[in-house]
Amino acid sequence: MEGSTASNFVLGFVIFLALAGQLVEAQTQSKKAIASALYVFGDSTIDPGNNNQLNSIAKANFSPYGRDFPDHKATGRFTNGKLATDILSELSGLPDLLPASLDPNFQGEKLLTGASFGSASSGYDDSTSKTLKVLTLGKQLENFRHYRLQLANMTGQGNATKIISEAIFALSTGSNDFINNYYANPLMSKKYTLAQFEDILLQSLRGFVQSIYNEGATRLVIIGLPPFGCCPSQITLHNVLNGSCYEKFNEVATSFNEKTIALTKEMTLSFPALRIAYYDIYAKLYDMIKYPTKYGFKETRKGCCGTGLIEASILCNKGTPTCNDPSKYVFWDSFHPTSEAYNSIAKDLFSEVLMQLNS
């Protein structure tokens, strides 16, 4: 075999091995995946940077947010690294970072495996979202429909329908409706009793489920309210002398969660082609706060950013010092969990809920 011919043969064989390796890896990934895509909606707990594209102060695209990513890049996620939905995506056999639907780079093959349509500071009620000029739940759904058109243009209508029908949808919102709306706006609490306001939110939840059902969703996870009375900022604002969780807010979360569970059972009958699961994040996060050493944490009263008592969003910025080891903290800032806490939540959500939906 002549030299040039041999060289070409070797080069071709190397390329063949590389392509074969990629094919095996893709097939392995495909076999491992429990869903075609992951679509999430809600607030800052699942927003990976959609608000970066909005004229709103509700952003986290600056240091020290994202400080524990390999490149220390602030993506818009309200934590030090990954969100629970990023980790959930990876556990499901999908990419380890769930992209923001409004990210200019969200195009091409990235469209195939899902996205987050969430918006920090949003809620079930439109007035909650409009306060800080962020995406209402209705607008998030509108953006999903626009995404679906892009997906259909790329893959064909039949393939787009198949991807959506084999995807997992998730919804995580509600805390802002109470913290930044009902209890922050005297007009709202005068206009509605707490029970009436909760009913308004539940109507929005039902409308959301109806919408994704119409879009062909077959699996949905509804994430309940966390014990937001245990957020450092809420303790500082409402129970600073005692220094413990503000139980009034926790009771609100518990009450709303009970109504959400009841509605979930009712919707299971109303939407027979849609499997709906409820995830009790309240119990998981409350256990982490009450028994931190069980999860490897030490600090539950303060966030890692600044004093940890009030700093969040623009108050947690590049001039704000942070703790040395966020892995020992349940909270990153005074409102949002660390990526370490999100990791524990995601693993629990995956094993307790997603595997149930996939069975």
Which residues carry out catalysis? 44, 333, 336
Cβ neighbors of 97 (< 8 A, separation 6 or more) are 48, 82, 86, 89
Entry field: residues in the chain: 359
- DSSP letter string, 82-150: --HHHHHHHHTTS-SSPPBTT-TT--GGGGGGEEE---TT--SSHHHHHHTT---HHHHHHHHHHHHHH
Please state the φ and ψ torsions of residue 300, each to the nearest 5 degrees. -120, -20
Residues 202 and 220: beta-carbon distance below 8 Å: no
Q: What is the CA radius of gyration of the chain?
A: 22
**Integer Cα distance of 46 and 64 in angstroms:** 18
Backbone φ/ψ region at 114: left (φ over 0), alpha (ψ -120 to 50), beta: left
How many CA atoms, within 13 angstroms, populate the side-chain half-sphere of residue 153? Answer: 9
Q: Over 272-320, what HEC string results?
A: CCCEEEEECHHHHHHHHHHCHHHHCCCEEEEECECCCCCCCHHHCCCCC
**Integer Cα distance of 213 and 104 in angstroms:** 28
What's the first-to-final CA gap in the chain, in angstroms?
Answer: 56
